[in-house]
With several copies, the nearest count.
Chain A
Amino acid sequence: MAEITTLAEAVAEFIHDGDVIAMEGFTHLIPFAAGHEVIRQGRRDLTLCRLTPDLIYDQLIGAGCVRKLVFSWGGNPGVGSLHRFRDAVENGYPRSLEMEEHSHAGMAARYAAGAAGLPLGVLRAYAGTDLPAQTKSISSITCPFTGEELAAVAALRPDVTVIHAQQADWKGNVAFWGITGVQKEAVLAARHSIVTVEEVVDELVPHGPNHVVLPSFVVSAVAPVPQGCHPSYAMGYSSRENRFYLDWDRISADRGIFEEWLRRFVLETSDHIEYMELLDEATAQVGEARN
């Protein structure tokens, strides 16, 4: 059964140096606040898994928390490169980065296999590409009925999966809707799971399209963190702050500017409330300066 706690306590309890961590959310519901808290608590040598390691992982990589990245698409959506990710791969800064690279279909199948208690997922994937030569967790099987060769991917079983959801109830049942990505599979594949939520409600009632409920007994900890997915969005609660994604291109392109940003906004804030307040202040100042 999930305990309802704070994000700081949940990270302290469940996420340890060297762990395999998945923070999932497909554009929607990305658990940024949790990523910042992992940086604040100074975790090191993490293996981070995620289909789309966008800004949240760029920050963790730039902060030096990450030993290895397991992923399928690493960019700033609609903007361009992830500069901290590129700096790590191209220049080994702030440290070298091991990679385990897949396609989205392969990553999705790996989580689904983990959720299903299977050691592998079987799919039609990677045909004719150079990926299998680089990635040990890609192999193949032969269908005993048709003789066809199919791709096999190793199940992915994170130590901890972290997601952001719209709601939980007081028992720790979690609900999210809209674009739900691979979060259900990522949670069910993991040993532990931390869910930040926009709010805790008395009763979960079906909301919006594709309403998904994770029962409390598959969740380790629920932490209320309003706007915990900013600059991503929570359908019904907030809009995507596209401006931040554009700004990130500039902030992350320079090591010094990034490190200053990280110190000021993450390391020297105590929690997500302070972070959001500081961000709002800074945005207002930039707005004034622009006028």
Chain B
Amino acid sequence: MSSTEAFSPDEVMTVTAARQLRDGAVCFVGIGPPSEAANLAHLTHAPNLVLIYESGTIGTSPRVLPLSIGDGELAETAVSVVSVPEIFSYWLQGGRIDVGFLSAAQIDRYANLNSTVIGPYKRPQVRLPGAGGAPEIAAAVGEVLVMIRHHRRAFVERVDFLTSVGFGRNGGGRSGLKGAGPTAVITNLGVLRPDQQTKELMLTSIHPGVAVSKVLEETGWNLKVADELSVTPPPTDLELATLRDLRHRTREAHQSWKPASG
């Protein structure tokens, strides 16, 4: 089960993201791939992972993946449910969160994210949903994990709008912010991490069966590759079985559900 044929790119992406979460961490989760990764971690190596959703549900244990950030099961299984103003003030801004997930339509070499517009703000070609909780997650959590599918339209030289800050337009943009910022960008092709000094994202791990040239081709800037490029350890049998079982349960519960990163 560890051959490259045995799992899909989105499965390795989810499994790799899940592995970043240490047991006992307090994790601010969004819907879609982050929720899948966090719940996978919770069900495998991190049973004491604390899952917090921005709907105000703290310490949830959903049996199936929620379809929305405010599914009833999140409230029913939570240790505590608080208001939205409180989740952002006392919990996120209050520095109670170890790790947060973000995604976006565009990312640049300093891990700045755009989920607002493609094109100019006043006359966009594409109006995206907007910031949501992202700007303050980016600023306040201990570390940020970014999950984003790898293609040239997403990995751009310059984001059209800076919705949430990675390391700023020139890599020096975190002064005054508490968290460490993005520590890993997990894609369906590999993992990028910021250079310790320059904060520029480098390819540090490549998923099994993916060519470096493919990653470079799908990146819209001149992506640096780490001297010690590793190959992502493939999903274990347990990880794959748990993920697939979770997806199966979710599909049974929500007939309209499709794997968010699939």
Q: Which residues of A contact B (CB under 8 A)?
A: 1, 26-28, 51-52, 71-75, 77-78, 81-82, 85-86, 89-90, 101-105, 108-109, 111-112, 115-118, 123-131, 134, 148-149, 173, 178-182, 184-185, 188, 204, 208-210, 212-218, 233, 235, 239-240, 242-243, 245-246
Chain A residues whose C-beta falls within 8 Å of the C-beta of B81 in the assembled complex: 178-180, 209-210
Chain A residues whose C-beta falls within 8 Å of the C-beta of B10 in the assembled complex: none
Among A131, A179, A235, contact of B135 (Cβ-Cβ < 8 Å): A131
Chain A residues whose C-beta falls within 8 Å of the C-beta of B177 in the assembled complex: 127-128
Task: List 11 A-B pairs, Cβ < 8 Å.
Answer: A27-B55, A28-B72, A72-B132, A74-B129, A75-B128, A118-B93, A128-B139, A184-B83, A209-B80, A210-B83, A215-B59
Q: Is the beta-carbon distance between B161 and A130 smaller than 8 angstroms?
A: yes
Q: Is the beta-carbon distance between B168 and A128 smaller than 8 angstroms?
A: yes
Q: Is the beta-carbon distance between A208 and B75 smaller than 8 angstroms?
A: yes
Q: Is the beta-carbon distance between A213 and B83 smaller than 8 angstroms?
A: no
Among B54, B124, B139, B163, contact of A125 (Cβ-Cβ < 8 Å): B139
Q: Is the beta-carbon distance between A90 and B131 smaller than 8 angstroms?
A: no
Chain B residues whose C-beta falls within 8 Å of the C-beta of A26 in the assembled complex: 55-56, 69-70, 84
B134 within 8 A of A: yes
In the bound complex, how far is the Cα of B26 from the Cα of A78, in angstroms? 23
Q: Is the beta-carbon distance between B83 and A101 smaller than 8 angstroms?
A: no
The residues in B between 38 and 91 inclusive whose CB is less than 8 angstroms from any CB of A are 48, 50, 54-59, 67-72, 74-76, 78-85, 88-90
4 tightest A-B contacts by CB?
A27-B70, A128-B165, A75-B129, A73-B132
Smallest CB-CB separation from A239: which chain B residue?
B72
B94 within 8 A of A: yes
Q: Is the beta-carbon distance between A109 and B85 smaller than 8 angstroms?
A: yes
Q: Is the beta-carbon distance between A78 and B93 smaller than 8 angstroms?
A: no
Smallest CB-CB separation from A238: which chain B residue?
B72
B125 within 8 A of A: yes
Q: Is the beta-carbon distance between A129 and B163 smaller than 8 angstroms?
A: yes
B130 within 8 A of A: yes
Q: Is the beta-carbon distance between B165 and A129 smaller than 8 angstroms?
A: yes
Chain A residues whose C-beta falls within 8 Å of the C-beta of B165 in the assembled complex: 127-129
With A90-B124, A215-B58 as contacts: A72 and B131 at CB distance below 8 Å? yes
Q: How far is the CB of B149 from chain A (nearest CB, A)?
A: 15
Q: What band does the interface of chain B fall in when counting residues whose beta carbon is under 8 Å from A?
A: 35 or more
B203 within 8 A of A: no
Q: How far is the CB of A189 from chain B (nearest CB, A)?
A: 8
Q: How far is the CB of A109 from chain B (nearest CB, A)?
A: 7
With A27-B70, A104-B88 as contacts: A86 and B127 at CB distance below 8 Å? yes
With A78-B31, A115-B94, A182-B85 as contacts: A126 and B72 at CB distance below 8 Å? no
The residues in B between 137 and 195 inclusive whose CB is less than 8 angstroms from any CB of A are 139-140, 161-165, 168, 173-174, 176-178
Count chain A CB atoms within 10 A of each CB in B50, B84, B134 and give the residue with the most.
B84
Q: How far is the CB of A46 from chain B (nearest CB, A)?
A: 19
Q: Is the beta-carbon distance between A116 and B127 smaller than 8 angstroms?
A: no
Chain A residues whose C-beta falls within 8 Å of the C-beta of B96 in the assembled complex: 188, 217-218
Chain B residues whose C-beta falls within 8 Å of the C-beta of A101 in the assembled complex: 116, 130-131
Q: Is the beta-carbon distance between A173 and B133 smaller than 8 angstroms?
A: no
Q: Is the beta-carbon distance between A173 and B84 smaller than 8 angstroms?
A: no
B24 within 8 A of A: yes
Q: How far is the CB of B138 from chain A (nearest CB, A)?
A: 8
Q: Is the beta-carbon distance between B85 and A112 smaller than 8 angstroms?
A: yes
B7 within 8 A of A: no
Q: How far is the CB of A141 from chain B (nearest CB, A)?
A: 14
Q: Is the beta-carbon distance between A78 and B131 smaller than 8 angstroms?
A: no
Q: How far is the CB of A56 from chain B (nearest CB, A)?
A: 14
B218 within 8 A of A: no
Q: Is the interface of A mostly helix, strand, loop or mixed?
A: loop
Smallest CB-CB separation from A208: which chain B residue?
B75
Chain B residues whose C-beta falls within 8 Å of the C-beta of A213 in the assembled complex: 79-80
Q: How far is the CB of A37 from chain B (nearest CB, A)?
A: 23
Q: Is the beta-carbon distance between B130 and A71 smaller than 8 angstroms?
A: yes
B197 within 8 A of A: no
Q: Is the beta-carbon distance between A116 and B94 smaller than 8 angstroms?
A: yes
B220 within 8 A of A: no
In the bound complex, how far is the Cα of B83 from the Cα of A90, in angstroms? 33
Chain A residues whose C-beta falls within 8 Å of the C-beta of B161 in the assembled complex: 130
Q: How far is the CB of B257 from chain A (nearest CB, A)?
A: 8
Q: Is the beta-carbon distance between A105 and B71 smaller than 8 angstroms?
A: no
Chain A residues whose C-beta falls within 8 Å of the C-beta of B95 in the assembled complex: 117
Smallest CB-CB separation from A178: which chain B residue?
B75
Chain A residues whose C-beta falls within 8 Å of the C-beta of B124 in the assembled complex: 89-90
Q: How far is the CB of A26 from chain B (nearest CB, A)?
A: 5
With contacts A103-B134, A209-B76 known, what are 14 further pairs, Cβ within 8 A?
A75-B128, A77-B67, A77-B69, A78-B31, A86-B126, A90-B125, A103-B132, A103-B133, A104-B133, A105-B88, A126-B135, A127-B135, A129-B163, A243-B256
B221 within 8 A of A: no
Chain A residues whose C-beta falls within 8 Å of the C-beta of B128 in the assembled complex: 75
Q: Is the beta-carbon distance between A131 and B68 smaller than 8 angstroms?
A: no
Smallest CB-CB separation from A1: which chain B residue?
B24
